[in-house]
Chain A
Amino acid sequence: MIQKKNNIGIIAFVLLAFLVTAPLYARNWKSPDDQKDKKSYLKFDATTASQGEALYNANCASCHGTPGKNNSLKSLNPIPPDLSTKASQQLTDGELLYIVTNGAGLMPSFKNILSEEKEWLIISYLRGFNKEYVQQLSKFDPAKSKLVKLTTTFDKASQSIIIQAIANEKTGVVAIAGAEVSLFVKRYFGNFQVDKSVKTDAMGKATIAFPTDIPGDKTGKLNVLVKMFEANYGEVQKTDSFDIGIPTDKPALNEKRAIWNVVSKAPLWVIGLYSMGLISFLMLLAYLLLNLRKIFKS
């Protein structure tokens, strides 16, 4: 009898414990339904997985650790999950892609850092840890994106960049309407998005106002990146450069002579002191050798 009571107690405790901690297991993000079913157009194989591994190590491992090693960064709250575990692997490909693209809580968004293709490569790597996983390919044909032609022009009057998306279909040129376009300025690290993403109109055109205060290089040149996404044509990118930034002439830190520079740009005082030391040693050496010669000769 006592035994039984105990068992009930344990069950009750476990249940209670589960109820109390349940919210901790709940995910605090939610991907939109149309994203959830999204599938990769890349076929996952050993090559994509190894490409993905490199990307994972460069972008994700600092937080998530090595999959299967349970060595994720414990100082974060919530602790980034080990992505090889069942809980994470239960996510659909579309959900994984959504999380990586948009971030979740502490997890940063990789939207401006990784292209969709690279994100799929990472997911391909992660799926390698799941034996039960069977890939379903998307019907999307990546060859279609090759047909797309993006043009960017700067309109001085309205101080904005006009983007036009067209596709050279067999049937003739068609404007891509309703595509999502985003504009970025290239910086040293990553890209800086200008304004929000907008949709193209019936002519395939979209206008994004461009700020007047972005620093460019010596001549004010800025490198911009345009990204277009459309369900049929997939993701297309184009880079361009315009003289629309503020000219800035900050010499690079390694242009002048400095302690941290290469030998040919060593500070003169270092060269001076070092050579003086060396020369005085050589002079002493010469003097001594001369003396030794004199001793020998006398």
Chain B
Amino acid sequence: MSDKKSSEKIIADLLGHIRLSKSFMAWMGILSVSLVVCLYAYFLQLRDGMVVTGLGDYVSWGMYISNFVFFVATSLIGMLISAVLSLLNQKWAAPLARIAEIIALAFAAVAGLVIVMDMGRPERLLNVFIHGRIQSPIVWDVTVVTIYVLISTLFLYIPLIPDLKICSEKLDKLPPFARKIYTLLSLNWKGTPEQHELIKKSTRALAIFIIPVALAIHTVTSWLFANTSRAGWDSTIFGPYFVTGAFVSGTAAVIIAMFVFRKSFKLNEYITDYHFDKIGKLLVLVSLVYLYFNLNEYMVPAYKMKRAEAFHIHELFAGSHAFMFWATQLLGLVIPIILLLFKPFRKPLPILVIALMVLIGSWFKRYIIVVPTMEHPFLPIQNVPLNFKIYTPTLIEIGVTIAPMIMVLLIVTVLSKVIPIIPIQETLDHASETEQK
């Protein structure tokens, strides 16, 4: 960080990844083929109906809604890193802001699709708009997710305007139509103080506004559960429990993205060990908060052991979901916290492995929140076959669940190939500031 770099070099470095490389083509190829396979699974589901899944009258949400919660959760990171940390003047996070925003946008945009994939008759989504009751958390959810996607897009776009100008001017070997798009999107940017001021003001307004919206999207998601009287969901702390959990999975996702971008785009000078060390500490912080909420969430019902809750807790702690439960809690939360307390584990490679553990753990944690509760309702349905009560996802269902993950990777990959993933203008400003000092 300390060694001086000419602005020419900075621009060249940070624009370096915006070109079509062979490895990019190969990666896109792999993603597209996998997506086609998964979409075929979805086609089967559309053609034959939800019977092709393991969902039934008992577990009607299953993997799909776990996936939805996971997506919404991960998308919250945009708000934490780009808004909260920048408002708190945490300068170290500035180069990571765009990565976080890209991840947030990709996950939020796809989250809506995940819900649609859980519907046997997706065209009935329109009914939410035609017949929706504004008392229903589903309507709040649809509203707030849409708003979050829009705001995240703006939050990505507005600070990007100066960089788009740089792209249109400095990128060589650019097809004319692409250059036109960059010019168009950069809105006559000339770098006047007035323009700078406008960007600054708008970004700030967004940074402030995105905080309640992000809190709202995940709180509302949690209300979809907590507003239902079910053992395991009937909880007053579900909102903060979900939000803190969201920061854990989002931070892990950003760490993975940082590692991959740094490696494949040769950004070692811009995303340094220092950043990994810092974000490692951030991960410890958010994980600790989440651990605290976990403690509350299980301690209180487990102390009282009300009949239905007792059964639920038993299923998680020692029953049929015990393995997954303890695996997610230990491998996805406790062990990462302990390891990350030590500096060597906050080096890029170890922290990558830990972040992968955390992210996978986060996915299964959502599964643990959704499925066991659905398996034992207060009023069991009479005369149902055993396979209704024990949920086992089918292969097709797994395919449909993976599809949105591939979409996220596609969106992130494509965005990383058309826009600089480290804010150029900000890096330049920062460099000139340090020079003046």
Contacts and interface: CB of A to CB of B under 8 A. Distances in A.
Interface of A: 62, 65, 71, 73, 259-263, 266-267, 270-271, 274, 277-278, 280-281, 284-285, 287-288, 291-292, 294-298
Interface of B: 132-135, 140, 143-144, 147, 150-151, 154, 158, 161, 187-190, 192, 194-195, 198-199, 201-202, 205-206, 209, 213, 216, 382-383
6 shortest A-B CB distances, which residue pairs? A296-B187, A291-B202, A259-B135, A291-B198, A263-B133, A266-B135
B134 A295 contact: no
Contact of B133 (A71, A262, A291): A262
A256 to B, nearest CB: 13
B134 A288 contact: no
A292 B383 contact: no
Chief secondary structure at chain B's binding surface: helix
Contact of B382 (A62, A284, A292): A62
Given A263-B135, A297-B188, 19 more contacts: A71-B383, A73-B382, A73-B383, A262-B133, A263-B132, A266-B133, A266-B135, A270-B134, A277-B143, A277-B216, A278-B143, A281-B151, A281-B209, A288-B158, A291-B198, A291-B199, A295-B198, A295-B199, A298-B190
B101 to A, nearest CB: 15
B293 to A, nearest CB: 25
Contacts of B158: 288, 292
B218 to A, nearest CB: 15
B188 A296 contact: yes
A156 to B, nearest CB: 47
Nearest to B188: A296
A261 to B, nearest CB: 7
22 contacts: A65-B383, A71-B383, A261-B135, A262-B133, A263-B133, A263-B134, A263-B135, A266-B134, A277-B143, A277-B216, A278-B143, A280-B209, A281-B213, A284-B205, A285-B150, A288-B202, A292-B158, A292-B202, A295-B188, A295-B199, A296-B188, A298-B194
Contacts of A292: 158, 187, 202
Contact of A271 (B134, B151, B201): B134
Contacts of A287: 202, 205
B149 to A, nearest CB: 12
Contacts of A295: 161, 187-189, 195, 198-199
Given A62-B382, A288-B205, A288-B206, A281 B147 contact: yes
A20 B230 CA distance: 46
Nearest to A288: B202
Nearest to A287: B205
B135 A288 contact: no
Contact of A298 (B144, B151, B192): B192
Nearest to A282: B147
Contacts of B194: 294, 298
Nearest to A285: B150
B196 to A, nearest CB: 10
Contacts of B199: 291, 295
Contacts of A73: 382-383
Contacts of B140: 274
A268 B216 CA distance: 20
Contacts of A266: 133-135
A267 B154 contact: no
Nearest to A72: B383
Contacts of B143: 274, 277-278
Contacts of B195: 295, 298
A266 B134 CA distance: 7
Given A62-B382, A281-B147, A288-B202, A260 B188 contact: no
Contacts of A291: 198-199, 201-202
A260 B227 CA distance: 13
A65 B150 CA distance: 52
Contacts of B189: 295
Contacts of A278: 143
B160 to A, nearest CB: 12
A298 B188 contact: yes
A257 B140 CA distance: 18
